[in-house]
Structure 1
């Protein structure tokens, strides 16, 4: 006996408004996935593999988008912290800015004098603590067109100090600070050299910058040993080492290496170059990316400069992306009264090389 038909009407539900818009806008892949779900899965006897593959693609795409957004947000956070730190950091005074040459752009070409003093805290046990600070390192940078050229001037080079006669070039910093140092270096190098900007490295904050990077790696061909630094003797054996901020500062400041008494100031300049190169490598590594906000906050606090905001940001960008070319050292030709003499021919060659004329 057959079944009796139902005594009520069967209605089919209409598609909702959201379903209409969704079907028009959603990707074809998602539309096919929805059809498969509504139809109860794959066709009888057919493989379920296409649906799984599509689901995997959708999940991977979403994950990549989330990672990209997080990376952009992380970089933006670092940029904001950099500019906030740069605005709250002390800049060069009016006397220093008047001593600089006008003109010069970080995009078209500019020469920057970088000075690091040998100042030690008054309560430090190091020799010279509390006394007048001299220029511990003197570096000229020529930045422009995405390239960076470097020239290191040995601190014991004999120079004419305006208003004070001849003396070691680093003593100009103790006598008249950055303004006199700018005039001394410009007169010493001659050959029309223009110094457009100046950077004074704050060695008090320098260890904090190294620590924000998570330390740096250096490789030594021979051991390095020096007098006590901050009350502790500094010694590194030959080989590879990971240095924290305090160790990196001590390494850069070693002048008389007891492991190699025959070394002169050129070896010291090479160690400083090694530290700068290691900072750059660390900042550009994946490790540097994960620590970007900390690095961005500490970098401006490590220096005092006439550069502000975008100018400082442009400088750090050029230093990081302008290649890791070797720093040229102004070589002495002789010695006079314990100071190093440099020939005029050497000065001409180095100024031309610095400005990219050879």
Structure 2
């Protein structure tokens, strides 16, 4: 009964409703009664901006870096860097080789004491092809039929004046047997000046007989011509008649043909088989130089490193230049020679009276005056291959 009474006493009793937990209450931390203050639920993390994703169906613009930070990784463009490096190295090669050749070239003192012509417009080069055997072994001398070196200053098989100025470039051949006044030695062949006094006396002889001031002296020996011709793969020569000259070491048929260095040298030196000897020889010399200039200025002479090296090495092996000749003057010389022999300029022989190789005083004086005043465009009929007046 007591229990029932007690139960009845409880029947009207209502348990109190649980109260709502305070804001921020965390049920996970409700471990029952505790004397430790309950912690509030941690605050939610701040909202991050949505990632910059590419549109659906499109791939990212670049691979992500190894750190996974989503930033594009730079591509190594080796296919651009390698060609650029090769171009730079090629330009360095093109510039370095001529400077090396120039530094190894023999410097020649061609100055002399005495009065010289005054400064003149344009630049005039004295080009000398000597019979120097420098750079040739005894075996090569025998092969090229040059004979031994007789000592002294040797002789000049080729004498030319190249004038470069405002007008067309002019290459003027001076026959080596020309009779002129050599200072200190009287009237004799002009090539004797080189034998008597070397480059200085030859320069003085040219200036005193022509009135033309020589601005730069350039000399090339037998070996240099042979090496350069071989470096460009040979030159074309066109003898009008068969040539059999044991002294020059050649036996050629008439007509155009390819000549190597040794043949080109012999063709330039030969004269005994010609009726006019020295006159036709200077024409053959210009023919070889013209063909050589055409070969040298071909793109392959620059693009082919072996040919480019051979041309510079061959020229430097037996080339002599005046002590005051600059790199710029050598560049202008090459350009002027190419122009004169390539048809853009003029190529002729000193005006002559006849085939006895005596200058025509009147016409030669006119020619020299036009050169000294840089009026090569007015040369006209004075410029002939054999130096003789044009018929009619």
Scaled by the length of structure 1, what TM-score is found? 0.70
Which of 362, 366, 388 is the matching residue for 1:349?
A: 366
Q: What residue number does 1:285 align with?
A: 298
Q: What residue number does 1:46 align with?
A: none
Query: Helix, strand or coil for the counterpart of 1:228?
Result: coil
92-101 or 343-352, larger mean C-alpha shift:
92-101
Cα pair 1:213 1:283 within 8 Å, conserved: yes
Q: What residue number does 1:275 align with?
A: 288
* Structure 1 position 251 matched with structure 2 position 267: yes
Q: Which runs of 5+ in 1 are unaligned?
A: 1-10, 24-61
Q: What residue number does 2:207 align with?
A: 186
Matches within 5 A, 1:213-228: 213-228=232-247
CA distance in 1, matches of 2:115, 2:262: 33
CA distance in 2, matches of 1:127, 1:12: 85
Which of 146, 149, 170 is the matching residue for 1:149?
A: 170
Structure 1 residues 301 and 98, CA, compared in 2 at 3 Å: closer, same or farther?
A: farther
Query: Helix, strand or coil for the counterpart of 1:184?
Result: helix
Matches within 5 A, 1:304-343: 304-306=320-322, 307-320=325-338, 323-324=342-343, 325-334=345-354, 340-343=357-360
* Structure 1 position 174 matched with structure 2 position 225: no
Cα pair 1:100 1:197 within 8 Å, conserved: no
Backbone CA RMSD of aligned residues: 3.5
Q: What residue number does 2:161 align with?
A: 140
Which structure dedicates a bigger proportion of its chain to strand? Answer: 1
Matches within 5 A, 1:4-19: 15=60
Query: 1:100 Cα deviation (Å)?
Result: 7.1
1:160-195 per-residue CA deviation (whole Å, 9 max, x = no partner) reads: 1101111011111100001001111112223xx211
CA distance in 1, matches of 2:194, 2:108: 14
Which structure dedicates a bigger proportion of its chain to helix? Answer: 1
Q: What residue number does 2:149 align with?
A: 130
Structure 1 residues 12 and 168, CA, compared in 2 at 3 Å: closer, same or farther?
A: closer
Query: 1:214 Cα deviation (Å)?
Result: 1.6
125-134 or 160-169, larger mean C-alpha shift:
125-134
Scaled by the length of structure 2, what TM-score is found? 0.65
Q: Which runs of 5+ in 2 are unaligned?
A: 1-50, 55-59, 379-392
